[in-house]
Amino acid sequence: MTTGEHTMADAAAMRRALELAARGPARGVNPRVGCVILSPHGDVLAEGWHRGAGTPHAEVDALAKLAPGAAEGAVVVVTLEPCNHTGRTGPCAVALIDAGVSRVVYSVADPGDHSAGGAERLRAAGVDVTGGVLAEEVEAMLDDWLFAARHRRPRVTVKWAASLDGRAAASDGSSQWITGPAARADVHRRRAAADAIAVGTGTVFADDPALTARAPGGEFFDAQPIPVVFGRRPVPADAALTRHPHAPVFVEGADLAADLHELQVRGIRSLFVEGGPTLASAFLAAGLVDELLVYFAPVLLGGHRVAIDDLGIATITDARRFDFAAVERLGDDLLVVAHPRPTEGN
């Protein structure tokens, strides 16, 4: 929420705080946050940023660079509302009050159940507080973290590759490769951008996927998604995913909402669901899909191996509606990107 008036100097300092925030880790439980401390005359006294879970928050990092008493009457500009809880570190709101700052300028309100409320605590202590400065820019930077924090789950992307008639495999079960190299390269690029990649145990037994993100030449991308397996069946000890750079995470899949919350608590902000039809259908039926990526190949397969199983939809009026966000040509194939259509009242 925007409160109070902000100045050009506030905005300039916030842009610098955004630059500082970008130095922090892009993945994990905590957000990237930057902080600039200004004198009452607008001179920069100190800068700080958050370096990851367990390290000082941006405000405390900046305060630590000042001599005792040097922040008295200062203006603190920070990308996220100062926290109001004690975790591995103490509340930043209290640290700022103790330092004697006169004003705090922040961009986005903290959505956490336990960490929110820093702005009100500061106001109660007599500190002038302004929120909402450059909110759109900070929202864009913290997009995945804010989504996970607000929804208490990762953003879920479901992907499948299919023939023009909606089949994910031929009648004998063979599916490599329905799409061509350009489409497969696009999938691996998107895998690398996700925090985690998910399959069901059925896919593990049928395809033995490595669940890695690789460049067209076969080399690993620097960023690798954490492998997540949904299901109760034990995975073979020699499964390819056991050799993944990250240790696999196993969840039962009986309660997808609870499983997603567990992944969010682990610091997973985005989940790339690769397969198979049973798992993809379960996410769709539960209304837990935020984006669809459907790669269509110009082939016909026929048969019963459809890309999506029964969703429990009995009549056309109950159809799950999506809006097309993009259509892209990838070699001989087409990628269709779709987002769920908001329901009335949302």
Residues forming beta bridges with residue 38, ordered by sequence position: 44, 75
- The span from the CA of 68 to the CA of 27, in Å, is 33
The catalytically annotated residue of 5, 19, 47, 59 is 59
If you search the block for the tokens 């008295």, which residue do you land on? 72
Q: Please name the residue ranges forming H helices in 142-180.
A: 143-151
Dist. CA 3–CA 341, nearest whole Å = 32
Q: Which residues, listed in sequence order, are joined to residue 198 by a DSSP beta bridge?
A: 228, 273
Measure the CA–CA gap between 241 and 218, rounded to whole angstroms. Answer: 16
Question: For residue 229, which phi and psi values (nearest 5 degrees)?
Answer: -115, 125
CB 230 within 8 A of CB 214: no
59 given a catalytic annotation = yes
Beta carbons of 278 and 200 less than 8 angstroms apart: yes
Give the residue carrying structure tokens 């902080």: 35
Strand ranges in 27-175 using DSSP code E only, listed in sequence order: 34-38, 44-49, 75-80, 103-108, 128-130, 155-163
Instruction: Quote the CA–CA distance of 148 and 311 in Å, as a whole number.
Output: 25
CB 153 within 8 A of CB 264: yes
Closest C-alpha among 14, 3, 137, 136 to residue 75: 14
How many helices and strands in the chain, by DSSP H and E? 10, 13
CA separation for the pair 176, 183 (Å, rounded): 13
Catalytic residues: 59
